[in-house]
């Protein structure tokens, strides 16, 4: 949408807007549904963080859940204001978080453990500087896609080596929410029409699906890592619905 108007948060300066008219429901929120749809991601990440801390899992998983929350908060600020600086502040952490997933996925089999985090930190810093100066949405999207494609084969490998049926189900939920969320994103981006009587809010649905996707990814990775460490993980469910990991560490640990 090309609604360049001035409101509580100032003029719209973002280089990208989505299929939602600006400041329709509130003078304080530019894209109402795209803003509020980040709340489920924050709540799911908080649930995952509490479980990770309670189970005393490795710190990397607490960092993952916190990064999911921080990213959702930045996304709220971006969609609420459509400010270019906040857009940059939203896109760069997306790449950082994806690099964090690459570390969690590949570090267990990495022979030179100190080189991997050093490389990823430098890579993230260089991307932030270059992205700030280029301000290219296309480069960001292509870059993000490539990094995601690096994660998927590793997730599939872990799925193949997982025998627990409930854990496999979590991995399938990860795949389904990723595919459906991506279709919602594409629908909103490519097929947006002002003539719609009702806006299907594809980008807001993307936020919701990707929030669940991140939760399922984190849960599956927590299960897999606990299995590697010999902590006898099990998949249980909150209220019979939301999966989470329960471990039993050997007494010696």
**Known binding positions for Zn(2+):** 79, 203, 207
User: Token digits for 48?
Assistant: 């995952």
Instruction: Tell me if 99 sits within 8 A of 124, measured CB to CB.
Output: yes
Distance (Å, rounded) from C-alpha 86 to C-alpha 63?
22
Residue 242, φ and ψ in degrees, nearest 5: -85, 120
User: Token digits for 42?
Assistant: 């924050």
Binding-site entries: 18, 20, 22, 31, 79, 203, 207
3 state DSSP class of 245: strand
Within 10 Å of residue 159's Cβ, how many Cβ atoms?
Answer: 17
Distance (Å, rounded) from C-alpha 131 to C-alpha 138?
11
Instruction: Tell me if 186 sits within 8 A of 205, measured CB to CB.
Output: no
Burial class (CB in 10 A: 0-12, 13-18, 19+), 104: buried
């Amino acid at each position: 949408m090309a609604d360049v108007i001035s409101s509580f948060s100032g003029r719209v300066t973002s280089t990208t807007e989505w299929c939602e008219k600006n400041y329709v429901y509130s003078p304080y929120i530019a894209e109402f549904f795209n803003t509020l749809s980040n709340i489920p991601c924050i709540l799911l990440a908080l649930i995952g963080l509490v479980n990770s801390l309670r189970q005393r899992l490795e710190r990397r998983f607490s960092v993952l859940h916190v990064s999911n929350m921080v990213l959702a908060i930045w996304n709220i600020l971006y969609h609420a204001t459509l400010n270019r600086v906040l857009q940059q502040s939203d896109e760069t952490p997306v790449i950082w978080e994806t690099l964090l997933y690459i570390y969690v996925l590949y570090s267990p089999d990495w022979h030179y453990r100190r080189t991997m985090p050093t490389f990823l930190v430098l890579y993230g810093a260089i991307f932030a500087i270059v992205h700030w100066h280029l301000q290219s949405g296309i480069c960001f999207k292509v870059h993000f896609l490539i990094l995601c494609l690096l994660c998927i084969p590793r997730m599939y490998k872990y799925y193949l080596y997982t025998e627990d049926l409930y854990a496999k189900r979590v991995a399938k939920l990860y795949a389904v929410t990723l595919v459906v969320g991506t279709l919602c994103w594409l629908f909103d981006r490519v097929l947006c029409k002002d003539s719609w009587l009702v806006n299907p809010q594809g980008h807001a649905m993307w936020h919701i699906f990707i929030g669940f996707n991140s939760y399922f990814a984190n849960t599956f990775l927590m299960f897999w890592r606990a299995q590697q460490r010999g902590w006898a993980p099990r998949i249980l469910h909150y209220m019979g619905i939301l999966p989470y990991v329960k471990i039993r560490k050997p007494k010696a640990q």
